[in-house]
Structure 1
Amino acid sequence: MPRIDLRRLILLLSLSVVTLTAGNLFFASYQTQRNFLMAQTLEANRIYAVKLASTTENFLKLTQQQLAFSAALLPEIWDQPEKLWQETHRLRRETNSFNSVTVIRADGKIIAASPSYMNLTGTFSSSEGFRQATSRRQPNISQPYIGSSNHLMIQISHPVFDADGNYLGYLGAGIYLNEPNILHSLLGEQYYRDGTYLYVVDTQGRLIYHQDPTRVGDVVKGNPAIDAVIAGQTGSLQLNNSQGIDMLTGYAPVPRIGWGVISQRPTAVTLEGLQRLMLEVAGYAVPLLLLSLLGIWWISTLITKPLWQLANSTQYWGSSTAAQSVSKVRAWYYEAAQLKNAMQKALMSLHQQLGRLNQENVTDPLTGLTNRRGLQLILEDWENRRQPFSVLALDIDHFKQVNDSYGHSAGDLVLQHLAQQMRRHSRESDVLCRHGGEEFLMLLPGTPPSQAIQVAERLRAAMAYTESPNGIPVTVSLGVASWPQARKTVALVLKEADQALYRAKESGRNRVVHADQDMPPDDANG
């Protein structure tokens, strides 16, 4: 697998650092501005909701004062229907705050009503507003209800008492929620084309004002802003409305009646200008970023050239021209110069050290054979040099019984005996390895499969017919495989040899099995 060179690595690192830094600055700037805009909008909506809640509170207070003044005039004209009607008409027309004004006796009979076309005079009221007003007999603002004219409405009422304090009835002013009314005048002008709008709910979460008239009367559940404002809280939060739109919401209660005023604006609208701004910033930043990367590429080429030349010379380290190749490198900065000098001084000693293994670290202390670490170094070297070889995987048969029956010292003698036999039946170039426990490997460089099987058979026979030092009969089973073969890796070949060894054990032990099942019998028998 080709490795990435230093120049590309520097470019990649620089690109990553520059991109991450620019991206982090861009993201941090965006997040800072975003949080500021959202906090600013939330606070603006909260203040706006407080302002309109106060406006609504003052309106309700004013209407109750108007009703109180008018109600104080009614006892003197209580038995004069014409004057009662004139007073209701005056009250409705003068303030333009109410859709209807009625005077209702204690028994529910409407004795005066404006406007006249509704024909309410002389009829009896049994509405929720009537029940609330007569039961409380004090200034009252009703909850929304369906009135006698089939309007969703609220009624602001004031009781009427005679000079002796007897309850005569009440003066009621109706505001129709699903028709143009004073709430529309107070709040309707606050709807903007950018999506900001207001709505008002009663103590049950019922919409009593909304920019969409069809929604007036709906009860909204699960809205945290509505839940908070009904509980008398003032604040702001980010939420998804009933249409699933992300909103920045401010809310405030109307203390006199317990209503809640909610002002909200879509988050997307709030951030729309910021997104355009960030795109403009990116448009200015990207060309400068590209110029910076071009400069980094040129500088990295200058820095890495001597190092690349020195690294390239190591490919011909064993040739006579290696020293000359190193001397031609123009090391123009300190690190490259030091590396060049070190390579020149160490060239000859490095030649001598190539291929030398530390015997103490790569030798099994019991058998004197190569251990796993040495085996790995040799296999890596052979694989890099494409050195063909055959491998013999061998295992002492019933070795556990030897340890259990004669003790571990006897087992150690058996292992040493096998190591001696492996040396007797190998060449100087062969690698003998104790792979672990009673498992051993023999690596035979440049040996074809047929010859490897012959070596395995000779070793098997020698172990079977040669008495061990302590007189214990010992046999071995062997598996044979070769590399390279059909694009198989060294690791896979070793695994195949190991699998062949286990097939030898399963088929009776004291035998040789080749990993290639299709090998002719003559080759397999050596």
Structure 2
Amino acid sequence: MSLLHVKQAIQKRKVSLTTLMIGLVSVSVLLMLTILLIASYQSKKQALYETTLTLNLSTASKMSMTMDSLFESMRSSLKNAADFYSLNSDMKQSDSGKYLDLIRNSSNYFNSIVVVDENGVMRTLSPSSIGKAGEPIKTAAAKEALASRKPYLSKPYTSATTKNLMVFISEPLFDQKGVYRGYIGGSLYLQQNNVLNMIFGNDNLDHNGSYFYVVGSDGHLMYDPDKSQIGKDSTSNLIVQKLIKGQSGQELAVDEVGVKWLAGYSYVPENQWGVVVLSPISIVKEQLNNHIQAILLYTLIPFILLMLVTTFLARRLAKPFVTLANIVSKMGKEEVPIPAMKHHWNREADLLTSTVILAMNGIKTETDRLTQAAMTDALTGLNNRRTLETIMKKWIEEKKHYSIVVLDIDRFKTINDTYGHQEGDRVLQHLADIVRFSVSPDDLCSRYGGEEFVVLLPNAAPHVAFETAERIRTTMASSENHLKQMVTVSLGVAQFPSHAQTADELFLLADQALYKAKHAGRNKTVMAD
């Protein structure tokens, strides 16, 4: 092989300046994009974890308060019955049975009720199928209640008569002289239809796999969507151990089969039980994957455009060096004129650097904008339409009762035409402040679009929602604004599930009520039919 061929082979293995610069810029952009994705992934992951944990803790706390009130009402029902018996100690057996039937059927608190005298003999039972009057009590729980002579709540046990897994609640009986005369007690059958099923539902699984369960003071399951699990000992669970100690909180938990859950748990003071709300960590991963896919989708076209610009700039930057290399390679072989050197390559290098930095800032700005736009209305700071529709759909699926208020600024087009859109935007911001002030922190305020706003009121009866809507309307009409004239709103109110069974139907009914308010003269609140 000749020396010329060797030189040519060596030259082919060398990387040109243009390829090198394009490669370096490409690697730099890819690395920065990778870092951005990793940082965005971790930040979004932490935010989703914290949001889900906070939501689960809030849900568990609300449920524990509900259960606390429930058991307080159950005890109050037994206490009232005990007071009645103390005043009517000479009541006939038949009348006593009817009275117990009345208590059991009217409140639906208990599956069965029994009156036991101070000697441990059952005097009256409801229903009569659970035993016979005149027989002595047999279960350890019944005997403990008799011996305690004070309000009593048992641990779960299996009844020898009905074979039901149950808990027993009792209140002592005293005559008018203060002498202990036994107790009146109610039973809750854990694996049958009971007041817990009525309040919390027979199946609390939602679309993303979240669910809750209730544990007793001894760590046994009191309520679970899988009835076969009720009564199971779960004291090995770390969260259950904390509930037994009276603690509430939120944490990332791992079950016995290694599945990770985002858990919120709350202690119930009235009965020393605990409520645990769990969401599978897989729902967070699914949202993270969607988030990363969205970022890649939005950065793909800018990245392609950036590479085209980089190739062009690299060629422009390398051009003087290529020219110089060609000139140097010919030196010594022929006479070559030396061209005048230009310093344009410095400008091109600065431009390339600015382009890369601009691309990074563009990607970050776009990511922040998309994240913000996904949740919030930019003008008012309220939740946007997407967030509103997501929450409505979630509450509908959870069968959660709530009311919706749809409101619209009267003659808003006239305001825009008279004072300009900037002043109209200030009116929208003023209304947003009034809506925030007029509702509770648990209510959801959203700007649906244009001058239309929506408020969701969880667990609010229609009349409560109507009062809230009226408060917004009257406050808006009487408040001073920068236009120095009265600005009014018209409002429509509807409630799930009394008015509609789907989110679209509910919104449509509230919107129709709004337009009825408009047609009725504006500055009015109308309840949906």
Which one of 58, 69, 74 corresponds to residue 63 of structure 1? Answer: 74
1:228 to 2:242 alignment: yes
For the residue of structure 2 that corresponds to 1:262, the secondary structure is strand
Contact 1:309 1:329 in 2 (8 A): no
Structure 1 partner of 2:151: 139
Matches of 1:303 and 1:335 in 2, distance apart? 5
Structure 2 partner of 1:7: 18
User: Aligned AA for 2:168?
Assistant: Q
Structure 1 partner of 2:262: 248
Structure 2 partner of 1:158: 171
User: Aligned AA for 1:97?
Assistant: Y
For the residue of structure 2 that corresponds to 1:74, the secondary structure is helix
Matches of 1:178 and 1:159 in 2, distance apart? 27
Matches of 2:90 and 2:167 in 1, distance apart? 24
Structure 1 partner of 2:400: none
Which one of 18, 26, 38 corresponds to residue 27 of structure 1? Answer: 38
Structure index of larger Rg = 1
Structure 2 partner of 1:42: 53
Q: Deviations over 1:387-421 (max 9, x none)?
A: xxxxxxxxxxxxxxxxxxxxxxxxxxxxxxxxxxx
**Cα distance change of structure 1 residues 310 and 131 upon mapping to structure 2, 3 Å threshold:** farther
Matches of 2:16 and 2:306 in 1, distance apart? 21
User: Aligned AA for 1:37?
Assistant: L
1:328 Cα offset (Å): 6.4
For the residue of structure 1 that corresponds to 2:43, the secondary structure is helix
Contact 1:250 1:262 in 2 (8 A): yes
Q: Deviations over 1:16-75 (max 9, x none)?
A: 221122233333333333322321221111111111111111111111111011012224
Structure 1 residues not aligned, in runs of 5+: 337-526
User: Aligned AA for 2:136?
Assistant: F
Q: Which moved more, 1:153-162 or 1:110-119?
A: 110-119
User: Aligned AA for 1:129?
Assistant: A
Matches of 2:144 and 2:90 in 1, distance apart? 22
Mapping for residues 37-436 of structure 1, pairs under 5 Å: 37-75=48-86, 76-77=88-89, 80-148=92-160, 149-188=162-201, 191-308=205-322, 310=324, 320-321=332-333, 332-333=342-343
Q: Which moved more, 1:132-141 or 1:302-311?
A: 302-311
1:145 Cα offset (Å): 1.3
Structure 1 partner of 2:465: none
Contact 2:320 2:345 in 1 (8 A): no
1:209 Cα offset (Å): 0.6
Q: Which moved more, 1:61-70 or 1:121-130?
A: 121-130
Contact 1:127 1:147 in 2 (8 A): yes
For the residue of structure 2 that corresponds to 1:123, the secondary structure is coil
Mapping for residues 428-467 of structure 1, pairs under 5 Å: none
User: Aligned AA for 2:224?
Assistant: H
Matches of 1:150 and 1:192 in 2, distance apart? 32
Matches of 1:278 and 1:101 in 2, distance apart? 58
Aligned residues: CA RMSD: 2.9
Matches of 2:341 and 2:323 in 1, distance apart? 10
Matches of 2:117 and 2:309 in 1, distance apart? 93
Contact 1:306 1:329 in 2 (8 A): no
Q: Which moved more, 1:107-116 or 1:269-278?
A: 269-278
Normalising by structure 2, what TM-score? 0.57
Contact 1:92 1:99 in 2 (8 A): yes
For the residue of structure 2 that corresponds to 1:220, the secondary structure is coil
Contact 2:137 2:143 in 1 (8 A): no
Q: Deviations over 1:125-171 (max 9, x none)?
A: 22132132122110111111112222111111011123343322211
User: Aligned AA for 2:60?
Assistant: A
Contact 1:37 1:271 in 2 (8 A): no
Structure 2 residues not aligned, in runs of 5+: 1-9, 347-529
1:9 Cα offset (Å): 2.7
Q: Which moved more, 1:259-268 or 1:303-312?
A: 303-312
1:273 Cα offset (Å): 4.1
**Cα distance change of structure 1 residues 163 and 330 upon mapping to structure 2, 3 Å threshold:** same
For the residue of structure 2 that corresponds to 1:71, the secondary structure is helix
Contact 1:306 1:330 in 2 (8 A): no
**Cα distance change of structure 1 residues 37 and 268 upon mapping to structure 2, 3 Å threshold:** same
User: Aligned AA for 1:333?
Assistant: H
Q: Which moved more, 1:136-145 or 1:10-19?
A: 10-19
Q: Deviations over 1:290-320 (max 9, x none)?
A: 2211221222122224435655777x69x83
Contact 1:98 1:174 in 2 (8 A): yes
1:329 Cα offset (Å): 7.7
Matches of 2:185 and 2:250 in 1, distance apart? 35
Provide the aligned length of Structure 1 versus Structure 2.
333
User: Aligned AA for 1:80?
Assistant: K
